[in-house]
């Protein structure tokens, strides 16, 4: 069993509860458009997947595209506050990750565009407290999960071979992509099973 030196975590549905319906409800109140219409316009097409892979390449470009799709002139503060309200930190899991940080190098990798990167201190301050500058969105690597390329790129960015790295995500396809890249994968289902995985690999 290879020694794991670098553990990469997904964010939504691993470190935080994530409720898309809360976001749609808040956007509905803000814009006057129906939640169904908003969902189809903003997330129903290819735009979000492209943004997660780095196009648009800037927070400003993402926000402009988002406003155009939404049909409403939303600003950064409003966008970030809505994202914050749809998330709830999982204190037990975050506590486990803080313990893990004493033993190995850590990073965050979430499928998101560049606007979330700028908004993380507002939306997810716990993430900044744990991962600091190693809190990443997929757009920074010009590829999105489950593409094995994004995993190779984040490992290389920190000087680790894939075999020295582990990846934790709630989606099986994302974990499979990491394993195809050579990482050790864990499909997150609960705090206790995550603890067992980390303990099995002598990381905690």
Per residue in 95-139, pLDDT (tens digit) is: 999 999 999 999 999 999 999 999 999 999 999 999 999 999 999
Task: State the Cα–Cα distance between residues 120 and 126, nearest whole angstrom.
Answer: 9
What is the per-residue pLDDT for 44? 95
Q: Is the pLDDT of residue 77 over 80?
A: yes
Task: Say what the pTM is.
Answer: 0.96
pLDDT band at 193 (very low <50, low <70, confident <90, very high): very high
Average pLDDT for 149-157: 98
Q: CA 12 to CA 27: how far, in whole Å?
A: 19
pLDDT at 1 (0 to 100): 57
Provide the pairing of β-strand 16-18 with 87-89. antiparallel
Q: pLDDT class for 2, splitting at 50, 70, 90?
A: low
């Amino acid at each position: 069993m290879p020694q794991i030196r670098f553990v990469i975590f997904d964010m939504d549905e691993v470190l935080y509860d994530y409720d898309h319906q809360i976001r749609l409800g808040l956007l509905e109140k803000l814009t006057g458009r129906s939640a169904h219409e908003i969902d189809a316009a903003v997330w129903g097409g290819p735009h979000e997947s492209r943004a997660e892979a780095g196009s648009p390449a800037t927070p400003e470009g993402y926000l402009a595209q988002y406003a155009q799709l939404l049909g409403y002139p939303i600003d950064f503060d409003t966008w970030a506050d809505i994202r914050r309200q749809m998330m709830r930190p999982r204190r037990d899991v975050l506590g486990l990750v803080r313990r893990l940080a004493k033993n190995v190098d850590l990073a965050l990798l979430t499928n998101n565009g560049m606007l979330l990167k700028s908004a993380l201190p507002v939306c997810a301050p716990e993430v900044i407290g744990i991962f600091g500058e190693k809190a990443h969105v997929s757009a920074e690597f010009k590829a999105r999960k489950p593409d094995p390329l994004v995993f190779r790129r984040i490992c290389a960015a920190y000087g680790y071979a894939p075999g020295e790295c582990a990846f934790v995500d709630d989606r099986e396809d994302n974990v499979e992509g990491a394993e195809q890249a050579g990482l050790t994968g864990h499909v997150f289902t609960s705090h206790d099973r995550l603890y067992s995985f980390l303990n099995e690999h002598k990381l905690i």
